[in-house]
A and B are shown apart, each in its own frame.
Chain A
Amino acid sequence: MTAADTPDTSAAKTPKPVTAAPSAKTVPLKERLLRTPVALPLMTFLLLLILWEAGTRLFSVPSYILPSPSRILLGFEAVPPGRWVEHIWATLRVALLGYLVSFVVSLPIAVGLAKSRLLSGALYPLLVVIQSVPVVAVAPIIIVVLGTGDAPRVVITFMISFFPLVVSMTTGLAATPPELIELSRSLRAPSLREITQIRLPYATPYIFSGMKISITLAVIGAVVSEFVAAEKGIGYFIQFSTSMFKLPQAWAGLVILVAMSLLLFQVVSQTQRIFFPWSLPKGQK
């Protein structure tokens, strides 16, 4: 491959006479971007921010319609850091408690559903009904019934986040190879050990899929519950700021929520990666 092969085009398109042999330095930009997983989304995101900033300035969009990124940044200063921490903690606490309750409740239900067809027939439709109830509409009722405090908010969070967990756990528990169940039976092992030593570990990849979906839903649940009744929390803060037309600080709250969701998702992902590496799909270790 010399200039003789493609005399005209190479001269016209590439001013520098580079050799054709690909070295580390001549890897095309596109290839290099595809090889670094964070680079591409980060660039898209930055580009979007720049367009957003430029657009809002160029067309003088009022900040109560769409504040520019720089205005949102100023929105963070509207509230002292101590207050931010209080709001964040309020939301995080409810999200995590609700998530925990979801997990603890889902596990025995999933075991029951996977082990007993009778229970599955009796319980599953009920779960689907609960799942179909628009939790946002029930939230005010729950608040009235359970009063103020964390309890109603945790219940609302639980209702929004538990279903994917039950489904993924049940699927996982049922996915165990039948041979291992026969091995367990042939050893006449206690039934509980079949769950703890075979079915649950086998369900781990499924459980983590459910946990990843649920953790994000738990944050949504916490926010929804704050919309209904709260005097603290990011959801409350966003609603309060919006009602005062302080849109930049509402957006700042939104940014924090997104960051919180991403962070919690990462915590779940990394927990799987570090403690259950064998449960990752092939090629993701």
Chain B
Amino acid sequence: MALAGNAINFSGVGQTFLTGTGSLTALDGVSVTIAQHEFVAVLGPSGCGKSTLLRLTAGLMKPSTGSVSVFGLPVTQPRDDVGIVFQKPTLLPWANVEDNVVFPARHKLGRVTPEDRAQAQAIIETVGLAGFEKRLPSELSGGMQQRVGIARALFLNPDILLMDEPFSALDALTRDMMGFELLRLWQASPKTVLFITHSIPEAALLADRVLVLSERPGRVIADLPVPTSRPRDETSLGSPEMQDYAAHLRSLLIRKEAA
């Protein structure tokens, strides 16, 4: 591939929606390149177009202006090598954990092979849900449900993982734990991750690089590499450089919110 090394490229991307009363510009002039296996967090106030950015990458919509490409090819439709994790787990309430994880196969191809089952089993173990294969989502805690959501996204072994505030519905402790779990998964099986959040510590702890978006219409107002090396743990946020970094991110966000 000509542009090997680059996973996602946004070039002058703008998105305008037609609404009942007129039009609404959600994104404006976003130009960013994300390298393969890079973990990029996107921070920004609500409604600034973060989810829209993710949908554009997933090929669920087309940009009004500019272009989005994945592995050097313009995104015209959803791709097989992109997995999505939503804010809410949105599992199938009638299907057990295993059936939820193999759902992409059943839904895409209409059948589930024994190999699919084995693959699902392996992923279920990786995300720490061994023993819960036959449980229904309603029998699981919020954190476990989101693990199933992640397992489902990993099932087709995507090169790119898009995560839209995946831990924001969880309590603080579970949220931290899930963050470290995600890092562990990512290190074991490197992927390009586009991780949307509105938590500064979460972004700083998980990502290689943090993009800060402005209030709507969302523009990239900062693109800052995280100053701490990996592996990271609970103490990583305590270092002076990380404190400064987090404070800087906060000032960028607050300035925008006051404006």
Contact = CB atoms under 8 A, between A and B. Distances in A.
B209 interface: no
Given A177-B90, A179-B90, A276-B94, A186 B110 contact: no
B92 interface: yes
Contacts of B58: 182, 186
Interface string B75-86: 001100010101
Interface string A178-204: 011011111111100100011001001
A184 B84 CA distance: 11
A186 B107 contact: no
B107 A187 contact: yes
A279 interface: yes
Contacts of A180: 90, 92
B104 interface: yes
Nearest to A205: B93
A10 B40 CA distance: 74
A203 B13 CA distance: 37
A189 B108 contact: yes
Chain A contact residues (Cβ within 8 angstroms of B): what range?
20 to 34
Contact of A278 (B86, B90, B94, B103): B94
A276 B93 CA distance: 11
B11 to A, nearest CB: 22
B191 to A, nearest CB: 16
B88 interface: yes
A184 to B, nearest CB: 6
Chain A contact residues: helix, strand, loop or mixed: helix
Chain B contact residues: helix, strand, loop or mixed: loop
Nearest to A197: B107
A186 B92 contact: no
A201 B95 CA distance: 10
Contacts of A182: 55, 58, 60, 84, 86
A179 B94 contact: no
B138 interface: yes
A180 B93 CA distance: 12
Contact of A189 (B82, B88, B90, B107): B107
Interface residues of B, number: 23
Contacts of B55: 182
A193 B82 CA distance: 20
A137 B77 CA distance: 54
Contact of A279 (B94, B107, B108): B94
A188 B90 CA distance: 18
Contacts of A278: 93-94, 136, 138
Nearest to B84: A186
B134 interface: no
Contacts of B136: 278
B240 to A, nearest CB: 40
A260 B232 CA distance: 68
B82 A186 contact: yes
Interface in B30-76: 55, 58-60
B78 A186 contact: yes
B256 interface: no
Contact of B78 (A188, A190, A276, A279): A188
A177 to B, nearest CB: 5
Nearest to A180: B90
Interface string A148-184: 0000000000000000000000000000010110111
Given A186-B78, A278-B93, 15 more contacts: A177-B88, A179-B87, A179-B90, A180-B90, A182-B60, A182-B84, A184-B107, A186-B58, A186-B59, A186-B84, A187-B104, A188-B78, A190-B110, A193-B110, A201-B92
The 10 closest A-B pairs by CB, nearest first: A179-B90, A186-B78, A179-B86, A187-B108, A189-B107, A278-B94, A177-B90, A189-B108, A186-B58, A180-B90
18 contacts: A177-B88, A177-B90, A180-B90, A183-B84, A183-B86, A183-B90, A183-B104, A185-B60, A185-B78, A188-B77, A188-B108, A193-B107, A193-B110, A197-B107, A201-B94, A204-B94, A278-B93, A279-B94
